[in-house]
Amino acid sequence: MTSGLEPCISKGGREIEISKAGTEERERYWKYIRRTNFFQSRSLYNQFFSELAGELYYLKRGISVNLVLLGKWRSDSDFHMLWMIKSDPTLQFFLITRTLSDYLREGSMIITRMLPREETETFEKAGFSHFQTILLLEGSRQTVAPHLKFPSPFNIRGFRKGDIEEVLKLDHLAFGDFWKLDNWNLRHISGFCRLNNLLVAQHEDVLVGYCIAGVTEQMGFIQRLAVRPGFQRRGLGKALISRQLRWMRDLGVRMFFVNTQENNHVSQRLYHNMGFSISVTPRYIYKYLHGEEYRCW
């Protein structure tokens, strides 16, 4: 069942009406969302609504489809996220302001995905402010090379289905509350690229590290790296990345990419030591604390 928001009048005097999708509309709009490659499967898309309290808002004008996906940042987080905007650029501001005014409650915090600088202006206009700066690092086959020596007594192997709970526990130990993953986000990240590889490291019977990598065409991505506190600074992170680099190089990858927070100097040193360098343009996460009424004009 569809629920309509109160119409808004744009600068040009046009009435803009945005609707919140019910179950049937979510299914109907899957064919448009699938083309963005954001969700790897229909089941992950459907689980987004149940596990992250997701909502889909849409505005249909002629043959143009404009939509917004919002949901929790993590299943147990107080933060919310504007996961996707697919729209005509001239309508983006209206979609953001109108959907957030319906979705958010007083005192709620919402963040954006990583934005290039040129996309931040619309969010600043809507009342968002800077929250995090994310550095993008890159390297080529010539500059990034896997290390051949691996630390012992660690055993690095492929992920097994039964590892998921231990991987999540490890992730929560390695990352602060904001960045730690939940089950849905782990599944989302580990299947995001065309080809994906998840490695875990064990010490005796304890899982002490893991690394997710993905390949799309000739580009390779280090998507997640975590080492259990107490086992850090022993070469395990470098060993996990090296194994992933070897996997990606064997697939013909020519460029490698990874991102990290601007204030995460430990990760930056690790990646620099492995041949990555900071690319020209960082990305930005913006936030909005809902407390004032949005204006629409």
User: What radius of gyration do the chain's Cα atoms show?
Assistant: 21
Cis ω for the linkage preceding 153 (within 30 of 0): yes
Residue 137: inside a domain, yes or no?
no
Same domain, 203 and 249: yes
Are residue 182 and residue 87 in the same domain, yes or no? no
Statement to judge: residues 237 and 269 lie in one domain: yes
DSSP string, 56-105: EEEEEETTEEEEEEEEESSTT-SEEEEEEEES-GGGHHHHHHHHHHHH--
Do residues 97 and 209 share a domain?
no
Judge if 93 and 154 occupy the same domain: no
Q: What is the CATH number of the domain that holds 67?
A: 3.40.630.30
Residues 101 and 163 in one domain: no
Residue 218 and residue 166 share a domain = yes
Examine the domain organization and report whether 195 and 236 are in the same domain.
Answer: yes
Q: Are residues 178 and 247 in the same domain?
A: yes
| Cβ–Cβ under 8 Å, residues 125 and 296 | no
Which amino acid, one-letter code, is at 95?
L
Co-location of 113 and 154 in the same domain: no
Q: Is residue 270 situated within a structural domain?
A: yes
Q: Give the pair of three-digit tokens for residue 32.
A: 């448009």
Question: 37-70 burial string, b = 16+ CB within 10 Å, else e?
Answer: ebbbeeeebbbbbebbebbbbbbeeeeebbbbbb
pLDDT by residue, tens only, the chain of 297 residues: 455 555 554 545 566 788 999 999 999 999 989 888 889 899 999 999 999 999 999 987 666 789 999 999 999 999 999 999 998 888 899 899 989 989 988 778 999 999 999 999 999 999 999 999 999 999 999 999 887 776 668 999 999 999 999 999 999 999 999 999 999 999 999 999 999 999 999 999 899 999 999 999 999 999 999 999 999 999 999 999 999 999 999 999 999 999 999 999 999 999 999 999 998 789 999 999 876 444 332
Q: Indicate the number of domains in the chain.
A: 2
Residue 65 lies in a domain: yes
Instruction: Look up the pTM and report it.
Output: 0.89
Question: What is the domain range of residue 161?
Answer: 144-275
